[in-house]
Copies of this chain bind each other. A is one copy, B any other.
Amino acid sequence: MTRVAICGASGYTGIELLRILANHPKVKVSAATSEKSAGRKVTALFPHLDSFDKLVYEPMDREKLLKKADLFFLALPHGASQEAVDFFFRNNKAVIDLSADYRISDRKTYEQWYGLPHTRAAALKAAVYGLPEIYRAKIRKARLIANPGCYPTSAILGLMPALKNRIVEPLSIIIDSKSGTTGAGRKADLSVSFCEVNEGFKAYGIGMHRHTPEIEQELSGLAKKKITVNFTPHLLPVDRGILTTIYAPLRKKVTQEQVLEAYKQAYKSEPFVRVLESGVYPNIKNVRGTNFCHIGVKLVERTNTLIIVSAIDNLVKGASGQAVHNMNLMLGFEETEGLRNLALFP
């Protein structure tokens, strides 16, 4: 059993890691940190984490943690992660960082969007962007994974086959995303209180969301040219799920069947991506609690536009499930280990 530690284990991505790892046959959670809840049993805060009845939150004492685990999941706030990741990385531990700190390979871009200097150049250089559908081979050999953001995962998987096959122009791409409220994190804040969110729906951070440069970096790579996108996030009154609707102008004359075939080909060996038949579109409810990404495509001839819809669970494929997928790849386990449960529907 590989020993893994979760740093920042009382937020939603942290407890989701615990939920997923509870039944993973090859690893054991040997430490879970939380500054606020240090000393308390995990089940005292989260009665649903039944099988962690013996696990007690501890403060993040790095030196102590080094001895306790072989692989570290870091679910810390952006900024705070930079140094912590670097520490475990320098100490030859495998690290999977769920923050944004190591996702943007260009330091200036990071500093511009996050308003923080990036002071760990070596680690940044070693970091592999943990989207297995693109970087599987690199992930297998990596020691430091920058686990992708939730919105970027849904946008990149939605666009990859269209860009790689040069079906669409990498210009004027519109990415209209809608996320469940867990995406805002676990916090005491009026903006996420039940009565403000329930029966409501709104856009936020238009033109300014920090996942924009991450999306652009990866799409530019796929398009083999530098591109910008319009990305608009919205807040859904549901717990989990991201649905992303993408609009891209067609580059050449193609049919719905050809596009669908290109998508099916692109993902035919992927354990967690499903391309739906023509006329069928994804629903976040069908992927809830799972590492799946469902994708539907529609070519609209009238407007010469390809419309792509992708759905993921933001806490699983958009965070903790993808992190476990990356761990499986890094440690040579079967890819789907711990991730085989089906969606909780309804």
Residues of chain B within 8 A (CB-CB) of A50 are: 274, 290, 292, 342-343
Q: Are B196 and A178 in contact (CB under 8 A)?
A: no
Q: A47-B276, A188-B190, A207-B307 are known contacts. Are A238 and B237 too (CB-CB below 8 A)? A: yes
Say how far A179's CB is from chain B's closest CB, in angstroms: 10
A72-80, A133-141, A158-166, A280-288: which one contacts chain B? A280-288
Q: Among the listed B228, B249, B302, which residue makes an inter-chain contact with A172, where contact means beta carbons less than 8 Å apart?
A: B249
Q: Does A325 contact B (CB under 8 A)?
A: no
Q: Are A300 and B206 in contact (CB under 8 A)?
A: yes
Q: A15-B345, A206-B281, A243-B234 are known contacts. Are A303 and B229 too (CB-CB below 8 A)? A: yes
Q: Does A211 contact B (CB under 8 A)?
A: no
Q: Does A30 contact B (CB under 8 A)?
A: no
Contact with B along A239-261 (1 / 0, CB 8 A): 11101010101000000000000
Report which A residues bind B (CB closer than 8 A). 12, 15, 18-19, 22-23, 46-51, 172, 174, 176, 178, 181-182, 186-190, 192-204, 206-207, 228-230, 232, 234, 236-241, 243, 245, 247, 249, 274, 276, 280-290, 292, 294, 296, 298, 300, 302-303, 305, 307, 309, 311, 340-346
Q: Given A174-B174, A187-B193, A188-B190, list of 7 further CB < 8 A pairs?
A: A192-B194, A194-B198, A196-B346, A199-B285, A200-B241, A203-B309, A206-B298
